[in-house]
Amino acid sequence: MFIVLLGAVVPGASSAAAPDGLELMRFKASEKTEAMFVLRASGCRKAGDTCRLELELSDGTDGTRKARLPDGMAHGIRKESRGAASSGTWTSGEEERNVTTSVQPVRLEAGEWGLLVTQESGFEHVHRRHRLYALKDGGVTEAWNGDENFAGPEMSHVGPYPLAPGSPVEGFYREYAFLSADRESGEPDQWKLDAYRWDAAGRKAVKELRHRPERHAAIIGSFKTAQEAIAYRDGAQLEQACASSFLVLETKPFKRLTPGLFIVTGIHSKKNAAEAALKNAGACNPRVSGYVKAL
């Protein structure tokens, strides 16, 4: 991964004092005005300081409401050169102090944007906090949050998706997995996909039940018990961890799957990605085969 030090834009890694209230990046807030979301780091002038991260509006006046992100970042923030030009990712700190902040724009209305922000922190067990920030009363407000439980091995991510073909308005999703399946527990993993849209009248995010993002399951085995499914996944690994990305899930929550079973599966946003996952698992271990099912 290629990392760029932002020099004068972000506090550097040296102990030299830096100006306070540094601007990290601007994001479009409205197409009706020239308003921009401004992400700033402040309060970290030297090594050992912790930066506060705040969002404000570019055309806001003194006293305009700002939104503070949950986690601060250590002095020496670095911008990572990855992702879309309209997005941004920054990281700082070592081991337990490591924090990565990622920002994704989402088009909440035809002429208005919000920002999805994810902060990852931790060393051995990484935890994630997700936020949606939106415009309100001439300022910036936190409109939604979807933190992990911080109770064990978890994974989650958020992102925008089109609510309908050709529509400029986007929804956003939170995809979550709790990795609990092992021979000792005998319990399946947990997986959930929640979708949301923006209620312009109420100025809030609401659950989207009809137009949800598509997901496809690459299934390499179906079993009557979770223990059987876990044993099969473990046996399929070989030394190359051929099925390491596959979950053990109960079929009951999925309307398109046969209830009462436990499947060994990898879940993907595109059908061709699920097909590729099957192909890769089979190339790794010739005994592994399966099929793809839309969820």
Q: All domains of the chain, ordered by start, with CATH? A: 3-207 (no CATH), 216-294 (3.30.70)
Under DSSP, the state recorded for 76 is: S
What is the pLDDT at residue 239? 86
pLDDT at 55: 95
Query: Whole-model pTM?
Result: 0.87
Contact 57, 36 (CB under 8 A): yes
Cα 35 to its chain centre, rounded Å, is 26
pLDDT digits (tens, 9 = 90+) for 233-242: 999 999 899 9
Q: Which residues, other chains included, contact 227 with Cβ-Cβ below 8 Å and sequence gap of 6+?
A: 183, 186
Quote the pLDDT of residue 137. 85
What is the Cα 292 distance to its own chain's centre? 24
Statement: residue 21 has pLDDT above 90: no
What is the band of 63 on the pLDDT scale with cuts at 50, 70, 90?
Answer: low
What value does the mean pLDDT take over residues 17-35?
A: 81
**Which pLDDT score, from 0 to 100, does residue 284 have?**
96
Tokens 């436990």 — which residue?
262
Percent of all residues in the chain with a pLDDT value above 70, rounded to a whole number: 91
Write the CB contacts of 30 (distance below 8 Å, at least 6 apart in sequence): 111, 112, 113, 135
What is the reported pLDDT for 109?
94
pLDDT of residue 175: 97
Alpha carbon 140 to its chain centroid, in Å, reads 21
What's CA 141's distance to the chain center, in Å? 20
- Give the mean pLDDT of 115-129: 91
Q: Which residue has the higher pLDDT, 31 or 273?
A: 273
Q: Which of 146-155, 190-199, 202-211 has the lowest mean pLDDT?
A: 146-155
Percent with pLDDT over 90 in the chain: 70
* pLDDT above 70: residue 8: no
| 3-state class (DSSP) for residue 131 | strand
**pLDDT greater than 50 at residue 28:** yes
Q: Has residue 13 got a pLDDT over 60?
A: no
